[in-house]
Structure 1
Amino acid sequence: MIDVQQQKDTRRVYLNEVGIKDLTFPIEIKNKDGKWQTTHAKISLSVDLDPEQRGTHMSRFVDIIQENNRIDLNHIKNILSIIQEKLGATKSFIELQFEYFIKKEAPVSKKISYINVGVNYKAWLDKELEFEMTVITPVTTLCPCSKEISEASAHNQRGNVSITVKSNEFIWIEDLVKISEDSASSPLYALLKRPDEKYVTEYAYNNPRFVEDVCREVKLKLEKENISKKYEILVESFESIHNHNAFAKIISEDMN
């Protein structure tokens, strides 16, 4: 059969990326303890396209991910290398959006439950492999101002801490989650008994944080742990007594 995609294109226009996007597919992610966790992801795969080539072979992207659905740095590099080889490209790209589950132990009862965090993972292979990962961790924030001016209690709410890092070295999702939770007023848990609720409520009350506080704490912890020099931090609080949200952001000088 005629390979239409391989036909020469006389317009000679280089395309930075061509490929497929939003393919929903099961994947396996390696936990920090060495085990593989199964989840599903929205996946985008692409390559650059030579100006003389009319099109790329879209079906090959699906073939490749079906045969290579384990995700860590070595597997990602292998996937991107295979894409370049199979599609005759010089650059290859992958993006995954998925939920990652972390086992949590309640602070008093020690009951085990799982908390889900959002992950957006991008990687590209040109002369070397680079990747960008965003981990979105749900947390609790308690308002220092509310605590200071109220005779009892203080307004508190859920929020998200989003940490985006660029690197060519592997970074554990769990490490970014811990930094986010340690920077907030309190972590979140899926399962709490009454003694746990008492502990978590009082812990947050004794650890009030503005979004500005959380954002600064994340920055200091990222730098202390030497995670990456390229990062963006976004903290958003879903305010419980206002009809708007509050946010704070830090972008490192090396990020752009």
Structure 2
Amino acid sequence: MTQRLAPVLPDVADDAAFAARALDWVGMDRIALPLQLPAAHGEAALQVPAEVDVAVDLRRPDTRGIHMSRLYLRLQDAFAAEPLTLSSLRRILDDLVESQRGLSGSARLVIRYEHLLRRRALASDNAGWKRYPVQLEATVADGRFRAVLGFSVEYSSTCPASAALSRQLNAARFTTDFAAARPLSTQVVGEWLASERGLAATPHAQRSRADVRVELQPSFDAGLPVEALVDALEAALGTPVQTAVKREDEQAFARLNAENLMFCEDAARRVAAALAADDRVARFEATVSHFESLHAHDAVARVSGP
């Protein structure tokens, strides 16, 4: 019985390139992959859906194309097998370069996902999950590794100018209501403050967001510091948006807003101070946006530094 040989399939990627020249990046965008995140604070490790862009350079001008399927296949199990760390990212990038067998010397990954963190309520015994959009860009070029981490933090911002104007109206109403000579006591004043007459005006506040990009130090070799950096920024801003909220939590949040009055300029400086103090950060860029409740436009401040 004659054995039939499998046909040799043509590979036109080996053909000579027209208008030959090297290419900066070649690859695929928006690949769907599972991503395993390290466990934190006693929580179990999480697997989340991610969207990944992958590319390598094409250094040989006369080569028509890269081995694109090799990039896809090597990524399929790479992130599901172990938690995402800078070390695992470096190994994956080196493997992507090696898969091209001399065609490439650089590789690039952009990973987008939502990082889930469990957050305690401010006063009640409750907690809830909160999502933080993350974008991680990692490259290896001629043996040099670089990782840039981007994420967003939402918070509340109460306008200092509006607070001052509100205090003035509250003081004016107090003067009017107590203009007649009568005995004053802490009980009388306390009852007045707790009544509707005790609140002549309220300052305007709005949900706000800090969008941050940090280049991580090359010497930092551990899991991604998403939670640590988020914690630092939320502590610096003082008024992160909440998850589970009972009345006592809402009251505590109102107190925090009064203690953390801030313009967008104030918020940007708080963010910058927190990032500049972190040894894992080589450089940062931050944009804070206050989605105004007074104006139809946003108030925005940008800051960067080492």
Which TM class, normalised by the smaller chain length? over 0.9
Residue type matched to 1:91 in 2? S
Paired position in structure 1 for 2:86: 73
- The 1:85/1:33 distance shift into structure 2, 3 A limit, reads farther
**TM-score when normalising by structure 2:** 0.78
Stretch of structure 1 that moved more, 44-53 or 160-169 = 160-169
Bigger Rg, which one: 2
Provide the secondary structure at the position in 2 that maps to 1:229: strand
Shift of 1:206: 2.0
CA distance in 2, matches of 1:63, 1:173: 28
CA distance in 2, matches of 1:29, 1:141: 31
**TM-score when normalising by structure 1:** 0.92
CA distance in 1, matches of 2:88, 2:29: 19
Stretch of structure 1 that moved more, 98-107 or 175-184 = 175-184
Paired position in structure 2 for 1:153: 202
* Contact persistence 1:135–1:176 (CA under 8 A): no
* Contact persistence 1:163–1:176 (CA under 8 A): no
Identity among equivalent positions (%) equals 25
Q: Give 1:120's match in structure 2, choosing from 135, 138, 148.
A: 135
Residue type matched to 1:144 in 2? P
Paired position in structure 2 for 1:57: 67
Shift of 1:10: 5.4
Paired position in structure 2 for 1:5: 13
Shift of 1:32: 4.4
Question: Over aligned residue pairs, what C-alpha RMSD do you find?
Answer: 1.7
Shift of 1:172: 0.3
Paired position in structure 2 for 1:45: 54
* Contact persistence 1:114–1:189 (CA under 8 A): no
Shift of 1:12: 2.8
Per-residue Cα deviation, 1:6-60 (whole angstroms, up to 9, x for no partner): 3332533010000000112221122444853211111100000021211112222
Per-residue Cα deviation, 1:95-140 (whole angstroms, up to 9, x for no partner): 0111101110001113111111111110001122111111111111
Stretch of structure 1 that moved more, 51-60 or 104-113 = 51-60
Q: Give 1:15's match in structure 2, choosing from 12, 20, 23.
A: 23
**More strand, by proportion:** 1
Q: Give 2:112's match in structure 1, choosing from 97, 105, 111.
A: 97
CA distance in 2, matches of 1:31, 1:19: 31
Provide the secondary structure at the position in 2 that maps to 1:187: coil
Aligned residues: 253
Q: Give 1:229's match in structure 2, choosing from 264, 279, 282.
A: 282
Shift of 1:192: 0.7
* Contact persistence 2:27–2:54 (CA under 8 A): yes
Stretch of structure 1 that moved more, 180-189 or 36-45 = 180-189
Q: Give 2:122's match in structure 1, choosing from 99, 102, 107.
A: 107
Stretch of structure 1 that moved more, 184-193 or 76-85 = 184-193
